[in-house]
Amino acid sequence: MDYFKLTVREISEAVQKNPAEGSSVLKSLASRAEAVDPKVKAYLKIQKDFPDSEKSAKGPLAGVPISIKDNICTQGWETTCASKILAGFIPPYDATVVRKLKEAGAVIFGKCNMDEFAFGSSTESSAYQKTANPYDLSRVPGGSSGGSAAAVAADEAICSLGSDTGGSIRQPASFCNVVGLKPTYGRVSRYGLIAFGSSLDQIGPITKTVEDAAILLNVLAGHDPLDSTSANVPVPDYTKSLTNNVKGLRIGLPKEYFAKGLSPEVEKAIRNAVKTYQDLGATIHDVTLPHTPYAVAVYYVVAVAEASSNLGRFDGVRYGARVEQSNLLDMYLETRNQGFGAEAKRRILLGTFVLSAGYYEAYYLKGLKVRTLIKNDFEEAFKKVDVILGPTAPEPAFKIGEKSSDPLSMYLSDIYTIPANLAGVPAMSLPAGFSGNDLPIGMQLTAKPFDEETIFRAAGAFQMVTDFHKRKPQLG
């Protein structure tokens, strides 16, 4: 049986009925990864010796193999953030999310490729390999969680974890025709996530279906005393939101999301999704998010400032790679020079600049003020609507190498996803159609803080009456 084609729910139910099936699931998935990963290059490492799967036959994720983005700490497994500077770093502990997965019965299957330190929108800045989009191997899978999304899309992962600082779960989910959720900031513990932007980062699930995302968030969500930014807010059962009923749901369409720069094919898919919701009984309302045009600029002030600060710890002294030199200063300089790639260096330099004396108020402080205005835009919109609908990305997946020499063009890939991170609100990308040349198109749903239930309600109903998520890439 091709277990690798199954969903989280299907595998969990099968293993709970017959614990011996756990090892068959792992063998099937390992065989699939061996067959397709040489083309896709989604994994940096795959587990070879699995624990006794019959021992993990209890819990909501009984026997479910799960793949982890390589910036989430896994005890005993090398965790590199796809950077040379962390080569050889083996964390002595599990991230809280990894511990929770194991306690729920999941088996850690592999570590997924990513943009170095999550800096990118294409998974091309990895120091180790470029991941390909399973739907067209000449195109990018998105980023920075491109390995995680590509693995799920190619059926070489049942589900995976990614991290989202400015769209790094949702944009690759859109490019790879899978479901990707960025929870509310503080909903899921960041303990054990190697930080990029500490006020923006959030871990979330990447799955084949909306139902699987709900099952995973049930396990991942909740307060963690090890994370000072973790919110002590009750966690509902998200699967109960999958009622397939959106009658009376108020959906907002921001005019700023349908402006110049949006691919006509993407707009057509989103407009068709709007009609689907109308047919299901939802009501559509025009809303405005007037500060959206400033979101990318604000993000690349706030995020790079936090990145510059967070990456200061990688100095060759405490962990990771070290380039030996005759004195301490040269060792610092050469370790960082050889250890960081071009995009990491660019962001460290930008961040150090906006935090420097004389520029702090002109850039960073002003960026924080505009961030508040963006948050206020969402608060005003949510007084009129329950959920906001729009495109996840302005275009389908672009060619590998197409934007590598134009960082600004690459940064604009996240124009629709960045506002949710700046505002701290939850957002999901789910399959909503295909372009004329059969590339996936994703739709984004955004809700109030800690109201992931409404996103699941809306997304679940859409997925019940559409089959975009069932259309698989032809990888042989």
Amino acid making up residue 173 = A
Q: What is the mean pLDDT of residues 246-253?
A: 98
146: tokens are 């491109």
Q: Is the confidence at residue 52, as pLDDT, over 70?
A: no
% of the chain exceeding 90 in pLDDT: 91
- Whole-angstrom CA distances from 230 to 183, 220, 221, 473 are 12, 12, 10, 37
The H or E element that residue 174 is part of is helix 170-176
CA distance 204 to 182: 5
What percent of the chain lies above the pLDDT cut of 70?
A: 98
CATH class of 3-290+375-470: alpha beta
Question: b/e per residue, 465-476, with b = 16+ CB within 10 A?
Answer: ebebbeeebebe
Question: pLDDT tens-digit profile of 158-204?
Answer: 999 999 999 999 999 999 999 999 999 999 999 999 999 999 999 99
Per the annotation, the verdict on 199 as an active-site residue is no
Arithmetic mean of pLDDT, 402-421: 89
The answer to whether 121 is a known catalytic residue is no
pLDDT, position 1:
82
Q: According to the model, what pLDDT value does residue 298 have?
A: 97
Residues 61-79 pLDDT 10s: 999 999 999 999 999 999 9
Domain boundaries, the chain: 3-290+375-470, 295-366
pLDDT band at 411 (very low <50, low <70, confident <90, very high): confident
Task: Please check the confidence at residue 50 and state whether its pLDDT lies above 80.
Answer: no
pLDDT at 413 (0 to 100) = 84
Active-site residue among 69, 100, 111, 182? 69
Helix (H) or strand (E) holding 148: helix 146-153
Sequence-ordered list of residues with C-beta below 8 angstroms from that of 225, at least 6 positions apart, any chain: none
| Summary count for the chain: helices (H), strands (E) | 14, 11
- pLDDT tens for each residue of 323-378: 999 999 999 999 999 999 999 999 999 999 999 988 999 999 999 999 999 999 99
Label residue 123 by pLDDT band (50, 70, 90). very high
The residue ranges of DSSP E strands in 197-339, in sequence order, are 202-207, 250-254, 283-287
Residue 55 confidence (pLDDT)? 55
pLDDT at site 51: 64
Query: Rounded mean pLDDT of 441-446?
Result: 98
- Average the pLDDT over 278-290 and give the result: 98
Q: What is the mean pLDDT of the chain?
A: 95
Of 90-99, 383-392, 398-407, the range with the lowest mean pLDDT is 398-407
Q: Which of 56, 168, 230, 435 is catalytic?
A: 168
List 28, 83, 122, 144, catalytic entry: 144
Instruction: Provide the pLDDT for residue 88.
Output: 93
pLDDT at 70: 98
Helix, strand or coil for residue 13? helix
Q: What is the pLDDT of residue 409?
A: 81
Question: Is there a catalytic annotation at residue 83?
Answer: no
DSSP state, residue 218: H
Give the residue-averaged pLDDT of 128-136: 98
What's the mean pLDDT in 244-262?
95
